[in-house]
Structure 1
Amino acid sequence: MKHDLSNSSARGHVTLVGAGPGDPELLTIKALKAIQQATVVLVDDLVNEAIVAFAQPTARIVYVGKRGGCKSTPQSFIEKLMVTAALEGENVVRLKGGDPFIFGRGGEEMEALHAAGVRVDVINGITAGIAAVSSLGVPLTHREHAHGVVFVTGHAKPGSAGTDWRALAATAQQARLTLVIYMGVSGAATIQNELLYGLPSDTPVAIIQNASLPTQRQAVCTLAELESTIAREQLASPSVIVVGDVLQGLLAAGVDARELPLKHRAA
């Protein structure tokens, strides 16, 4: 059931809002309205400040950054902040980069809020994997090249086995899938070596950093060149790695992706 975000009640509620990949113009109208109506906004590290600026002047802005390799706010503390504020009657927006339910820990947060009896809504955002490949003028699926797409994380939860890259590569080859890898730069060497067990060494790859922003950088190479290309071009997080035959046109043309027109950059 949909809730009217403008209604107030004795108990507050939380809205998990996807801020999109970075470009403020890619924010949905529904997300914009939720931000403007919030009394408390909990902001992720990668959210563009131009999006945070849409909040009303009286709103309390709390930065709860979570980023691989950097000092992060504990997830349990973020969940406690949301629950406490909502139970105090606040209209809370949890503002997350991309989409809350694609590697955004939105599922964990929804479970915590439900357990505390807090009403929660979700507003989707454009995930970085879609914005990244679109900026190169390339689709994620194509009847001639890719029958599906897999979104996968390159950063395993501590203590877990992580992605079985060999099995994924075999499936991608057999089913003709595009792989979109989030948080994979630091583990690029392992990802490359494992994927090569199931995918040809000349499989096209694109690495896109800061998708949709004026600072976006990218490179196109083969799977065998993934690690060396990242090092040579000094690409870093946040980056998306795209693997698959949908990139064949760029690779075959010898295009330097750094010179491609970017369709979703902010003005």
Structure 2
Amino acid sequence: GAHSVPQQDTNQLLIDLALAGKKVCRLKGGDPFIFGRGGEEIQALLPHNIAFQVVPGVTAAAGCAAYAGIPLTHRDYAQSVQFVTGHCRPDGSEPDWHSMSRANQTLVIYMGLMKAGHIQQQLIAAGRSGSVPVAIIENGTRPEQRIVSGTLQQLADLVAQHQISSPALLVIGEVVALQQDLHWFGQRPQAAVFGQTLTRMV
């Protein structure tokens, strides 16, 4: 929870430990190839002929949406889904707001809290209805998971009013409305067993 190591230092640590003969496990939350910089780290290993293996994970969009009771796709509401990051490189270009604003698709934004107001404005300006449902999932899949729902035109106000903090995920699209009926984690008796804290056996 204390992100204090620059990416280049992480890359160098992987190289140094591997070249010292260690077996190195770079453990990431989510999936290493979806906004996880796994590709960058492997590129750093290649010039040193360091052997590696990638174990896929469950990306936050899939895990958090499932625990929130939000199907990312649904035949009646969303035939596609886009995963985007709200935190681009400082010298990066703006995303394609028009493609992200299409109806009948789900938009999942990683690391979008700080730019919630900008995201809201750009999507509406690009044609997305301000009344489309949105969900902000804070601490998804954890016992303290919290879901705040509203509409796109309320997005920035919801973040401020509920004092949402990271880690949090933004889900925008018609499928969010299904959450009222499909929610299960920690809220329904038949799912209560899944809300219990599991003890790790060593």
TM-score normalised by structure 1 residue count: 0.67
Aligned to 1:17: none
| CA root-mean-square deviation | 2.4
Q: Distance in 2 between matches of 1:160 and 1:178?
A: 23
Aligned to 2:200: none
Q: Are positions 1:147 and 2:48 aligned together? A: no
- Aligned 8 A contact 2:136 2:169 in 1: yes
Secondary structure at the aligned position of 2:54 is classed as: strand
- Name the amino acid aligned to 1:109: E
Partner of residue 225 from structure 1, selected from 144, 149, 154: 154
Q: How far has the Cα of 1:259 moved from its partner?
A: 8.4
Q: Distance in 1 between matches of 2:156 and 2:85?
A: 17
Aligned to 2:128: 199
For 1:175-194, what aligned pairs fall within 5 Å after superposition? 176-194=104-122
Secondary structure at the aligned position of 2:44 is classed as: helix
Secondary structure at the aligned position of 1:152 is classed as: strand
TM-score normalised by structure 2 residue count: 0.87
Q: How far has the Cα of 1:217 moved from its partner?
A: 1.2
- Aligned 8 A contact 1:218 1:257 in 2: no
- Aligned 8 A contact 1:207 1:240 in 2: yes
Unaligned ranges ≥5, structure 1: 1-44, 46-64, 67-71
Secondary structure at the aligned position of 1:196 is classed as: helix
1:241–1:215 Cα change, 3 Å: same
- Aligned 8 A contact 1:220 1:250 in 2: no
1:258–1:229 Cα change, 3 Å: farther
Q: Distance in 1 between matches of 2:110 and 2:24?
A: 27
Partner of residue 119 from structure 1, selected from 51, 72, 94: 51
Q: Deviations over 1:52-71 (max 9, x none)?
A: xxxxxxxxxxxxx53xxxxx
Q: How far has the Cα of 1:266 moved from its partner?
A: 5.3
- Name the amino acid aligned to 1:236: S
Q: Distance in 2 between matches of 1:241 and 1:219?
A: 10
Q: Distance in 1 between matches of 2:37 and 2:47?
A: 16
- Aligned 8 A contact 2:106 2:171 in 1: yes
1:193–1:117 Cα change, 3 Å: same
1:200–1:110 Cα change, 3 Å: same
Partner of residue 171 from structure 2, selected from 234, 242, 267: 242
- Aligned 8 A contact 1:212 1:266 in 2: no
Identity of aligned residues (%): 40
Aligned to 1:3: none
Q: Distance in 2 between matches of 1:226 and 1:201?
A: 9
For 1:1-267, what aligned pairs fall within 5 Å after superposition? 45=1, 66=3, 72-169=4-101, 172-173=102-103, 176-197=104-125, 198-250=127-179, 260-261=187-188, 265=195, 267=197
- Name the amino acid aligned to 2:25: V
1:266–1:187 Cα change, 3 Å: farther
Q: How far has the Cα of 1:260 moved from its partner?
A: 4.7
Q: Distance in 1 between matches of 2:99 and 2:64?
A: 25
Q: How far has the Cα of 1:132 moved from its partner?
A: 1.3
Aligned residue pair count? 193
Q: How far has the Cα of 1:265 moved from its partner?
A: 4.5
Q: Which has the higher strand share?
A: 1
